[in-house]
Structure 1
Amino acid sequence: MGDFPLINTQNLTLSAFTAADVPLVQTFASEHALISMLDNAPYPYPEGAAAEWISTHPGLFAAGQALYLGIRLRQSGQLMGCVELHDIHQGHRAELGYWIALPFQRQGYAFEAACAMLRYGFGEMDLQRLDATVLTRNAPSIALLEKAGFVREGMRPLWGVSCGKPEDIFCYGLCRAILTG
């Protein structure tokens, strides 16, 4: 798939994670309030898990399976989260995911990053559909997806796992044809 993309928005830069990001990712992922809103993220977050996770990104990207980008403030370069497309089926579909560290939440950054990734997925990657799942109790993420145009397609009881406990999730989808009319 070539080099990792570098995507600039009004306030953000979305770019590949580096080894220098490991300590911050480890710190962010150790926050129960963040991890408890994510599906399938371990808690407590094991020591060394951030380095291991980041080390998988180049291979997954090269294989066309996933694209993980750090969300950074454009002015300072401060890392504050992740936006991703995973479970990629080239030219067809992928699943959108994202997280924002606690100090940066509720400032519109996740929405800005998610919309940039939608444009990249539908544009540069020529995807036809994007999916997303969210814990049914994660109201801010539900609002973000709906504001971005995603449609709730159903609920899967006990499909997700948060902090080791099964949880209900909502399934969302967005088709490129709906956006382009």
Structure 2
Amino acid sequence: MIFYIIYATVNVVTDIKYRITKNYWHLFFLLFGICYTAKVRSVQEITLAILFSLFIGLLLEQVKASSAGDTKMLIVTTVWLSAFVPISILRLSLSIVLFYLLPFILICIIVLVKKYGLSNAIQREWQQFKMLCLQGIRSLSGQDAESTNTLVNNIPGAIFVYFSAFINYIIFV
């Protein structure tokens, strides 16, 4: 677990300080995590964890709720935690994504209510939800890009991934 803590801490610091992430850093710890996790989980479970986290991360990127670095960190986090958390891979992946999105959603709600007021914020989000239901996810990717991108770019996603890993470790171990 110490290797994951080192990975996540350095990633959070570089994300906050420089707003960049290194692909070789993620690749190294992903491969190291796969080798470590292979002692506890099967190759199929590890592959499922990687593919599910990749799918969720790409979906979040499509709606501009995260960046590519966040997706990479979600994948590495899922692989590493699967070695320590004795629950199914899909349940672990879902809980990591849930606790990753929860603080982000709360911050978005607070910002929207401060900016537009409670009733206007609810009305605005209801309209976007209807648009999502009627036209699909692609319709939101360009919708209100200024406020979404500003919020996403100002909040380092590595903090939320690290928070998610910490909460999952506390809950399930």
Question: TM-score by structure 1 length?
Answer: 0.26
Structure number with higher helix proportion = 2
Q: Which has the higher contact order (CA 8 A, sep 6+)?
A: 2
- Higher alpha-carbon Rg: 2
Structure number having the greater strand percentage: 1
